[in-house]
Chains A and B, each alone.
Chain A
C-alpha cells in the first residue's frame, strides 16, 4: 500500500468529516471531545489538496456515527465541512453542517468575571450572532479564534 493510498484509505464504519478548513482538524476533534482516550481509531489529514478549498483537512472517526447536533458546532470553525456517515465502506448519509443557534458547554467565557467562570453548577451557553458567539450570561462576544476558547476539561 502506497503512502498516498494510506492517507485516503476508506473506513468500514464511522464518520468522515470532509472539507474542513485547512488547519482546523485538531480543533474539530477538540470540539467533538475526541482525544484518543476512548480507543476510537481516528485518522487526520491536514492541508490535503482540495478542488473546492485549495487545501482542506479531513477527519475520519471509525466505529462512531456522529449526530447532526454534535457536528453542527463544527460549522463555527469549518463552515464548509461535510459529514459522511459510512457503513460497510459506503456513504449512507451525507450532510452539510448548519450554524447552530446556541453552543452549550463547549466554550469557556473569556470574561473572567462571568458567573460561568465561578464555582457554580452551570454550563456555558453562547448564542451564535453575526459577529461570532455571545455569552448568554454576561454578554461577552467572541469574534475570532473560537477554538482557543474550547473548555480545557473536555
Chain B
C-alpha cells in the first residue's frame, strides 16, 4: 500500500520496505541519474532536538535529488520559543515545503503533525518512540551484509528508550528474523513494543548478557546506554560496562558477524573494532543518503512537487 507519511515502522509492509531498499540500491549504483529528479522540491527540516547524521543526510539526500531544504533552525531561534504549538508550526511550514522532516522530543509528535498537514511528514525521531527512516538504512545495511531472511540479530543496550531499536524490531517482523534483545533488566523493551512483536508473531528472546547468545548472531546492533537513565554514576558504570564490546569480546563471535550502531557512540564499541571486517557502522551511516533519497522518492513521487 502506498504511504503518504512515514510515522512508525509498524506501518511498513515487507513490500514497502523492499520498494525503498531496491530503489536505494539503484540510486547507489548510479547516483548521477537521480540528480535532477526533484529539481523543484523543497524539504523542510524541523528539528526540535539536536541531530547530526539524520539532519545532514536528509539535507544531502534532497540536494542529490536536485532539490533544496528550508531549515527551521534551533528551537531557541524559532517561534517555538514564543510558545507556538507544533500543530501551528507544521501548518505554517507546510506552505514553504513539499515534505516535512520532523524530530521532536514528544512521543506521537509526528503522527499528530501528519494530521494537520497535507504534505508528507517523515518522523525523524519522536522522543523514545520511533525513528523509521533510520530503520530503513539499518535494513539496507543488513541486507547488503548478510541478507534479511534467516537472520539472527542481537539488539543490545538501551532498549527501553532507544527509538531506533523500537522501529528496527517492528520492521524486522516482516522478515524471517530471530531477534535477541540484550539489556539490563531496567532497560528492557517497553511493553508496547513487546505487544507489537507478540501480535506480529515475531521470534523474540530477551537476555541480560551478551555472552550466551553472541556465537549464534549474524548481526549485533549496539546502542548507547545513557548516563541520565541511571540514578547514580556508580550504578551506570556498573551496568554500562557489561554492554560494551571490544575485539576481545568478539573473539567468541562468528567470523562473519556484522556489528552495527546507529551512532553516535560513546564507549559501547571500542575503537579496536573499527578497522575490522566486523565493523559496519560507518557504512551504515553513509547508507543514510541513498536510503533517504529512495524514501523521499517514495513519498514525493505521488505528490505535486513545487506547488
Residues in A lying within 8 Å of B, measured CB to CB: 111, 113-122, 129, 131, 134-141
Contact = CB atoms under 8 A, between A and B. Distances in A.
A137 B87 CA distance: 14
B85 interface: yes
Given A115-B112, A120-B112, A139 B107 contact: yes
Interface of B: 83, 85-87, 104-109, 111-112, 115, 126-129, 191-193, 195-196
21 contacts: A113-B105, A113-B106, A115-B106, A115-B107, A115-B108, A118-B106, A119-B85, A120-B85, A120-B87, A120-B112, A129-B195, A131-B195, A136-B111, A137-B111, A138-B107, A138-B126, A138-B127, A139-B107, A139-B108, A139-B192, A141-B192
A59 B279 CA distance: 66
Contacts of B109: 115
A113 to B, nearest CB: 5
Contact of A139 (B86, B115, B129): B129
A114 B127 CA distance: 9
Nearest to B107: A138
A137 B108 contact: yes
Nearest to A111: B107
A115 B126 CA distance: 9
B209 to A, nearest CB: 28
A111 B126 CA distance: 13
Contacts, number: 64
B106 A122 contact: no
Given A131-B195, A134-B192, A137-B112, A121 B107 contact: no
Nearest to A119: B85
Given A115-B107, A137-B107, A139-B107, A122 B112 contact: yes
Contact of B108 (A116, A129, A141): A116
B195 A115 contact: no
A113 B192 contact: no
Nearest to B86: A120
A122 B106 CA distance: 14
A102 to B, nearest CB: 14
Nearest to B115: A122
Contacts of B126: 115, 138
A102 B168 CA distance: 27
B85 A121 contact: yes
A129 B196 CA distance: 11
A121 B127 CA distance: 19
Nearest to B8: A139
A75 to B, nearest CB: 21
A139 B86 CA distance: 19
A113 B128 contact: yes
A119 B85 CA distance: 7
Contact of B107 (A114, A129, A131, A141): A114
Contacts of A135: 108
Contacts of A113: 105-107, 127-128
